[in-house]
A and B are shown apart, each in its own frame.
Chain A
Amino acid sequence: MKKICFLTIGVFLFSFSFAQNTETKTRTIPSVDVQTIDGAAFNTSKISNDGKPIIISFWATWCKPCVKELTSIAEVYEDWQKETGVKLIAVSIDDARTSASVKPFVLGKGWSYDVLLDMNGNFKRALNVNLVPSTFLVNGKGEIVWQHTSFAEGGELELIKLVKKVIAGEAITE
């Protein structure tokens, strides 16, 4: 009888370890319908950057730290793109009240990001975003390798370090 017990436990452990080995550790971008800044329908599964990394940043026109983050990055974005080819996609969660002001806001700021409108928070919910700003780093294979909530001044320096790590193929352990 003892043998059966041992065997049972053994099989249990085996099946669990098997489960762990086969579990895909990667996380991909969910497929959700949003709008481009020009009002065209866009599905988020089409987000891509020719095998180069992508930063997805959730923001809103009424969110001061978000605007700070995107303003800070805007100053160095040209350099970042030349150096690393990274693309930033700014996903606005502005709802019906302020969504019409997103394009005027972005163009008024002179930002050159790709901007998506997630008016009813569908993309935000699909990525389990609690608070804005929330930033995701996606590698060249379309896998989410890092996520972060909130912005502190200078946070963009940390972000570009991570982008370079992703390009070098290093694992992000933070």
Chain B
Amino acid sequence: MYIHRRTGILILLICFVPAFVFAQNLINLGEIHGNFQLDAQYYNADSTIGAPAVPEKILSNGFLNLIYTKGNFSAGLRYENYLNVMQGFDPRYKGNGIPYRYASYTQEGMEVTVGSFYEQFGDNGIILRSYEERSLGFDNALDGVKLKYNPCPGITLKALIADQRFFFDKAGLVRGADGEFSINDIFSKCMSKYKTRFTIGGSVVSKYQKDQDPIYKLPENVAAFAGRAKVSRPKFDIRTEYAYKVNDPSAINNFIYKPGEALIVNASVYPKKGMSIMLEGKRIDNMNFRSDRTATGNALIINYLPAMTKQHIYSLAAMYPYASQPNGEMSYQGTIRYKIKKETMLGGKYGTDVALNYSCSNSIDKKQINDSTAIQQTGTLGYKSDFFKIGNEKYFEDLNLEVGHKFSKTLKTNFMFANMIYNKAVIEGHIGTSTVYANVGVADITYMIQDEKSIRFELQHLYTKQDEGSWAMGLVEYTTPKWFCAALDMYDYGNEVSSKQIHYYSVMIGVTKNANRIAISYGKQREGILCVGGVCRQVPASNGIQINITSSF
């Protein structure tokens, strides 16, 4: 092998340079951290539950996040792969790449972010919220420039201009600004002793999309405005936000020209330690807001309309979850929480937690604008609506009581009962299906075998005459800090069609070591809706082996 002397020197130099660079940064090279997630499934066709054959046999979704930070600077990226897209996720994700990357720094109260980012205006995100919910395949990250500025304590100003993630592509154009003013911090000199905190804020968001419609003249720039106020005291909280959107004909509202409105009010009181009462109400009218007026499903959503119902976690209680209806709904919810004290008759040795919750969602009042125009008719103002009138159609109702009691150091229990009404035709968009009236009971019992080993039993029952009829479910789970295993069976014994009285059984095993977790499960999964954080996706019936790996460093 012959290397020219000059080349040799060059190689030497190249090698020395990093050594010097490292030497210069002796003190701080910055930090790199990240996480990884891989979900993969092997699919069996199963005609009894309606699981189709998957030609690829194995499908997987994977993610790797990397974040580099050094002082006030940070940069990050996310690699994603959908090879191919798992069942139940939008097939438009197919492929792999780096759809998310950003750089950001903070200097003198000013934070500059370029590239991909997530943002929420206000506590509700009522006109802008970009976020990621991986388990649902939801990601409406914005991609552009974001500025956040704190000119003085108590004032936060934000401005952004960006397009939106559309699977592995981008679409739309979104501009927005938000200001939040914490009165106590602004006037800290004279208000430092105030126990009451006042916060006000306002935001504006506008989107642009070219009008190419051959028939209608559609607005190309659509703006939405929101204002909010919050008062917080040690024993009392109230927060409210109102939003208005100019006319925005879209596929979701059947191309009507009516402006949109939303109002959300939450109030809580805390009469004494271990007790709280919360009341909420909201009205949503024509508030679908997407950067593409033709988009449907979970794509290109700009704002967030939180569902005002309890988020159930037990499988059968979560079988009929509510999702906000952007075209119009009036909802209210109340929750009372009470901790019955220790050493009382009902409290026992450790106390008892009681939570009573009621929520209800109805349609809004909609009247024809004139005799010749149908409600929600394309190209019209759509309908007239009385702001304070609750519509006649019930979308959802849920009355539930949850009681948690620890009997001894080794025996913990949790019981839940729920009575629900679920308007399947509206919530799932299956016109003509009947409303479901269901009663659900759950017993969750944990028994500690040793200090760090426990066995848990879950017994659930759902009674209904509609939809797929009644269900029973049993689960056994053994957990240690290092590993766990579980077996469950969901049995649709009440199905009117006897061939559909199926056992959906599955077994799973997993290991956990610090921030690494691997779980493998085998079995059948029922077709249904999976909802996390107010967004839902349809999960198909499946039969197979699934592996989930998460890791963080």
Residues of A at the B interface (CB closer than 8 Å) are 1, 4-5, 7-8, 11-12, 14-15, 18-19, 22-24, 27-28, 30-31, 33, 38-41, 61-64, 71, 75, 95-101, 103-105, 107-110, 119-122, 125-131, 134, 146-150, 152-155, 157-158, 174
Contacts and interface: CB of A to CB of B under 8 A. Distances in A.
Contact of A154 (B34, B67, B232, B481): B481
Nearest to B31: A27
A12 B516 CA distance: 33
A152 B33 CA distance: 26
Contacts of A38: 197, 232, 237
Contacts of B1: 1
Interface stretch (B210-218, B249-257, B265-273, B375-383): B265-273
B268 A103 contact: yes
B19 A14 contact: yes
B452 A155 contact: yes
Contacts of B484: 152
B479 A153 contact: yes
Interface stretch (B123-131, B162-170, B364-372): B123-131
B440 to A, nearest CB: 16
B479 to A, nearest CB: 4
Size range of the chain B interface in the assembly: 35 or more
Interface in B437-468: 446, 448, 450-454
B230 A97 contact: no
A117 B221 CA distance: 34
B514 A39 contact: no
Given A28-B31, A148-B515, A101 B278 contact: yes
Contacts of A110: 273-274, 339, 351
A15 B18 contact: yes
Contacts of B307: 97
Contacts of B404: 71
B26 A7 contact: no
Nearest to B34: A128
A109 B337 contact: yes
Q: Which 4 A-B pairs have the closest CB atoms?
A: A108-B337, A154-B452, A104-B276, A15-B19
B481 A120 contact: no
B388 interface: no
Contacts of A130: 35, 37, 515, 517, 550-552
10 contacts: A11-B12, A22-B25, A39-B199, A40-B199, A108-B275, A128-B552, A146-B514, A154-B452, A154-B453, A155-B452
Interface of B: 1-3, 5, 8, 11-12, 15-16, 18-19, 22-23, 25-29, 31, 33-35, 37, 65, 67, 69, 74, 106, 118-120, 123-126, 129, 131-132, 148, 154, 156, 180, 182, 184-185, 197, 199, 230, 232, 237, 239, 266, 268, 270, 273-278, 280, 304, 306-308, 311, 313, 335, 337-339, 350-351, 353, 355, 404, 412, 446, 448, 450-454, 479-481, 484, 512, 514-517, 533-534, 550-553
Given A18-B22, A95-B306, A108-B338, A150 B29 contact: no
Contacts of B355: 108
Nearest to B278: A104
Contact of A147 (B184, B481, B552): B552
Contact of B446 (A18, A30, A107, A153): A153
Contact of A23 (B29, B266, B454, B481): B29
Main secondary structure of the interface of A (DSSP, over half): mixed
Contacts of A158: 452, 481
B29 A24 contact: yes
A30 B75 CA distance: 13
B33 A128 contact: yes
A121 B19 contact: no
Contact of B182 (A41, A129, A147, A149): A41
B118 A105 contact: no
Contacts of A155: 452, 481
A103 B313 contact: no
B268 A100 contact: yes
Contacts of A157: 451-452
Residue from B25, B74, B515 having most chain A Cβ neighbours under 10 A = B515
Contacts of B412: 153
A24 B31 contact: yes
Given A4-B11, A24-B29, A30 B514 contact: no
A4 B516 CA distance: 44
B452 A100 contact: no
A154 B412 CA distance: 12
B69 A104 contact: no
A12 B119 CA distance: 43
B448 A154 contact: yes
Given A18-B22, A149-B516, 17 more contacts: A1-B1, A4-B11, A14-B19, A22-B25, A95-B306, A103-B270, A103-B276, A109-B353, A110-B351, A122-B118, A134-B552, A148-B514, A149-B512, A152-B484, A153-B454, A154-B481, A157-B452
Contact of A100 (B278, B338, B480): B278
